[in-house]
Structure 1
Amino acid sequence: MALKSCHDRNVTHRDVKPENMVICFEDQDTGRCLKGSPSGDEKFTTKMRIIDFGSAIDKFTMKHLYGSVGPSRAEQTSEYTPPEALLNATWYQGPTSTILKYDMWSVGVVMLELILGSPNVFQINALTRVLLDQHLEGWNEGLKELAYKLRSFMELCILIPGSSSKHHRVGGTNNRGGFSPASWKCSEEFFSHQIKSRDPLKLGFPNVWAMRLVRQLLIWDPEDRLSVDDALRHPYFQPPP
């Protein structure tokens, strides 16, 4: 609901992550957070709030703060940054409804982080890194890290628009022994298995609705990504019949 409050005002937070989420014991009379732990006679409601709006953008800040230059990548937390902001320096020039989807990607990353128990949601194993490095010789470290992240996206079925969601093949045959970097079916079962295999507890998603919600948040094209209102209407948040 905190993010909905932002988006209803056309504010893109741009830094949704666990460090910027705080638990608030909200006084039912004043609406303010209580200082410290509540006592037995205080009436309060436990809520989560989003803090740190230092990277947030809206029409006012775009006009009076950033101007024609726009917000920089230095103000982003790369682990929670969606593809459009990673690859396109002018991503913020699109429609407001699309710009707001930046935060929805971050929410999907946070959900995966809670399931995996690690902030390193997008990572590749050592063998894959070695094989990729054969093709990245001479690239600078920044481009290499971007290539690793894009590979990790593909492993979680986060595909570039136009790629098949059922069967995605990358690279084909190369000159180093015919190695194909990726070939798999991007089904719900595959995605669920990927997350379960990376979960130290081997539990994965609690139910199919959680899995589907995350998949719909981590879509490459922001226009196809869930909005905050779409997400709140998702079956995952609905009470059981």
Structure 2
Amino acid sequence: MQRKKSSAEAEFFTEYGDANRYKIQEVIGKGSYGVVCSAIDLYTRQRVAIKKIRNIFEHVSDAARILREIKLLRLLRHPDIVEIRHIMLPPSRKDFKDIYVVFELMESDLHQVINANDDFTKEHYQFFLYQLLRALKYIHTANVYHRDLKPKNILANSNCKLKICDFGLARVAFNDSPTTVFWTDYVATRWYRAPELCGSFFSNYTPAIDVWSIGCIFAELLTGKPLFPGKNVVHQLDLMTDLLGTPSMDTISRVRNEKARRYLSGMRKKEPVPFSQKFPGADPLALKLLEKLLAFDPKDRPTAEEALRDPYFKGLARVEREPSCQPIRKVEFDFEHKRMSKEEIKELIFREILEYHPQLLNSYIDGTEKTTFLYPSAVDQFKKQFSHLEESGGNGPSVPMERKHSSLPRNTFKCISVILHIKVLPP
């Protein structure tokens, strides 16, 4: 006989039971972390992306990365940064392995957009770079370094909207730390890695590493192909110096890695290639800014805020729609500085999930939460839906597939004017 629900439990179920809220449509991405499906939010009628991250506690380092990303995306709310809409409540506080994170759905990423389009206008380039720098200003004023900016980590829509995602490698630099920060696990994609990081997984660096990455991405937009596709560290430095010329001895002396420093010191003298020659037909103002973003020496690169004041953005930039962020409090990232057990990191991730369930969060904080209660949630239903989609090759059983383009639809993308671009920005 089924136990009759108490009124408190019934109310609990109504408010927090997500089982009927989302209608899964199709698999749109797979990776080592799990799978991403598109879905309809039946409450708002909006399309969303639901990311199932499986076995998150198998390795504590992976769990810490997931915690870091969901925490940063909650704290960094900005129109040019992807938004977490919701995180499913697991059925048990103590016994869960997977989490389901609901993101706003974007149509593509910048890597696919670059590959599928060869007819961008000068207005496209300007608007793309503006959004990226505007996001970077916000991220850096929060004292966060993204550390893995590349076209695949920038989501895109057919209205030319871009949003930065994937903060799993990001780090927060706190005010009581030196301005030059040391981290030992920098493993971001080599092609977009600043020269001061080449050949070293133990390096000192500043937010200028992200500015360099944005410069590489902008150059890739202009030409349709990566600017510095190095096969290894030495090749990477060769490609950089082939374009930018040999750096000065003063600049080389500040490259931390001894082997990279020795290699640059012994390199034959190279003269810089004029950017007008490397990027024929590009807007001269765009190239002048690009040269600053790609300064070999990090101290010569502008901040994102300074770059937004560049003459290239005249008529588009407006300081009132380029917000800064309050620096993130150190207490939010205490876990980064101590050795955490699996159970401790699980508790922190559960606490982060509760940020999307305010009433339960209050109970958790004031100690009235019942830890033995099994929360009504969508997890069991989603397990079945995700399993079915994975087994059936990614096609939903009842909803027709709507994702027809692996990149932005060219006919939509092509005809958008700069007036429309400006309208999609927040007031």
Shared fold per TM-score greater than 0.5: yes
Q: Summarize the alignment of residues 155-234 of structure 1 with structure 2, pairs less than 5 Å apart.
A: 155-162=242-249, 185-186=271-272, 190-193=274-277, 195-196=278-279, 204-234=280-310
In proportion to residue count, which structure has more strand? 2
Task: Determine which structure has greater relative contact order: mean sequence separation of CA pairs < 8 Å that are 6+ residues apart, divided by chain length.
Answer: 2
Q: In 2, distance between residues paired with 1:228 and 1:81? A: 17
Aligned to 1:145: 232
CA contact (8 A) 1:216 1:225 kept: yes
1:185 positional shift: 4.0
CA contact (8 A) 1:158 1:220 kept: no
Q: Which runs of 5+ in 1 are unaligned?
A: 25-36, 38-44, 125-143, 165-180, 197-203
CA contact (8 A) 2:184 2:203 kept: no
Q: Secondary structure at the match of 1:156?
A: helix
Pick aligned residue for 1:108 from 195, 211, 215: 215
Length, aligned pairs only: 163
Across the aligned residues of Structure 1 and Structure 2, the Cα RMSD in angstroms comes to: 3.1
Q: Secondary structure at the match of 2:237?
A: helix
Q: Summarize the alignment of residues 14-93 of structure 1 with structure 2, pairs less than 5 Å apart.
A: 14-23=147-156, 47-59=161-173, 70-74=183-187, 76-92=188-204
User: Cα deviation per residue 1:41-66 (whole Å; 9 max; x = unaligned)?
Assistant: xxxx9642110000101136xx9xxx
Q: In 2, distance between residues paired with 1:223 and 1:205? A: 29
**What residue identity is the alignment partner of 2:275?**
F
1:108 positional shift: 0.4
1:73 positional shift: 3.5
CA contact (8 A) 1:159 1:219 kept: no
Q: Which runs of 5+ in 2 are unaligned?
A: 1-133, 252-266, 317-427
- Label 1:157 to 1:238 Cα distance change in 2 as closer, same or farther (>3 A): same
Residue 236, structure 1, aligned to residue 312, structure 2:
yes
Q: In 1, distance between residues paired with 2:172 and 2:295? A: 23
Q: In 2, distance between residues paired with 1:79 and 1:56? A: 17
CA contact (8 A) 2:295 2:301 kept: yes
Aligned to 1:173: none
Pick aligned residue for 1:13 from 146, 150, 161: 146
- Label 1:52 to 1:161 Cα distance change in 2 as closer, same or farther (>3 A): same
Q: In 1, distance between residues paired with 2:160 and 2:194? A: 30
1:159 positional shift: 3.6
User: Cα deviation per residue 1:178-221 (whole Å; 9 max; x = unaligned)?
Assistant: xxx8665436xx3321x14xxxxxxx352111111111111121
Q: Work out which of the two has the higher radius of gyration on C-alpha atoms and give 1 or 2.
A: 2
CA contact (8 A) 1:205 1:211 kept: no
CA contact (8 A) 2:192 2:228 kept: no
Q: Secondary structure at the match of 2:168?
A: coil
TM-score (norm 1): 0.58
Where has structure 1 moved over 3 Å in runs of 4 or more?
Answer: 87-90, 161-164, 181-185
User: Cα deviation per residue 1:153-178 (whole Å; 9 max; x = unaligned)?
Assistant: 111115423389xxxxxxxxxxxxxx
CA contact (8 A) 2:183 2:203 kept: no
